[in-house]
Structure 1
């Protein structure tokens, strides 16, 4: 029941992921963070098999860290995206990873954020907005209509919540919590933990 959403705003990247870890019809935990930190200004959002996602993201994080130590410089978001795509493409012929990713980052040199879409087949594309998992079935039209260039933070947060409410509304089995994280010049920060079911309960009580 993975749901990942991300988009680029004015000097920031906003990403959200559900915190549910499950298998088949079973809910295993409700505090599983699918937005993993690569370095001080990059996040990998993962969906797919939990084991594959953890193993693959750990591989990327440690190799990016090793490059930074050996060369005393940080890779750009574009470079990390190319490296990640190469690892996925190579694994297809050896031991495929059942994982789809959104890579968000902010590059201090360019003073701008960027977002990359990657899938288990080794595809990679720089995008303004995107989603993986069940969220991809519902939020594309919302982002296509309401996303715009130079989206300020308040507008971006409201757009993200609009997407998350739509996911909760459409899925039969609801997701209890989403985590929203932002990447900007100051680094990575947790913006908010959104309890969708609580919002729906409050809306019902207000209507009554």
Structure 2
């Protein structure tokens, strides 16, 4: 049971994820970090079976860092997403086995004069979906209609965070599974910054 949230405007990308690690009906931990910083302006939030998510995300993270060391410039968010998607697709066709992961990649491409926020979702089959807002998990059943109503391409950071909190408040009220805490980050032209823990008990 995981919940991932991504929202893209014309200036920034907002990513959020729950902090639960669960197996079956048991919660194993409520303090799991699902974020992986790929570049100064790009992050991945990844979930999957067992240790698959951590193994896969670390592999992507280290290869993106290696790309910068070899070329003296960072990979774009779109290129990082394509590399990660291809890794999943290649895994499906190899004898080593597939990566049972789902992930969002968000970041900022372009220079100071041409900011290009980027957001995509990739599933365990390597299917890739670019959209202004994406959700993973059962929470999407409750929250897509909320974002259909609230989303604007020119949203401010405060409005985007308010939309996120509206979604989380709805999950708290309507969804049978309890998500006590969420991590969230905003990625803009100045880099990546954490918004800190969002506790659903405060909503």
TM-score interval for Structure 1 and Structure 2 normalised by the shorter chain: over 0.9
Deviation at 1:108, TM superposition (A): 4.4
Residue 193 (str. 1) matches residue 197 (str. 2): yes
Q: Is the counterpart of residue 103 in structure 1 residue 102 in structure 2? A: no
Instruction: Write the mapping of 1:1-208 to structure 2, written as runs, cut at 5 A.
Output: 1-94=1-94, 95-109=97-111, 110-199=114-203
Asked if 2 retains the 8 angstrom alpha-carbon contact of 1:5 and 1:135, the reply is: no
In structure 2, list runs of 5 or more residues that go unmatched.
none
Larger deviation, residues 95-104 vs 164-173:
164-173
Deviation, 1:98, is 1.0
Write out the 4+ residue segments of structure 1 that deviate beyond 6 Å after TM superposition. Answer: none
In the alignment, the residues of structure 2 paired with residue 17 and residue 127 of structure 1 have an alpha-carbon distance, to the nearest angstrom, of: 17
SS in 2 for 1:75: coil
TM-score, scaled to structure 2:
0.93
Question: Which has a greater percent of helix?
Answer: 1
Runs (5+) with no aligned partner, structure 1: 200-208
CA separation in 2, counterparts of 1:125 and 1:97? 18
Please state how far the C-alpha of 1:135 moved relative to its aligned partner: 2.0
CA distance in 1, matches of 2:54, 2:187: 21
- Cα RMSD of the aligned pairs, angstroms, is 1.3
- CA offsets, 1:38-62, max 9 Å, x none? 1211111112214110011011101
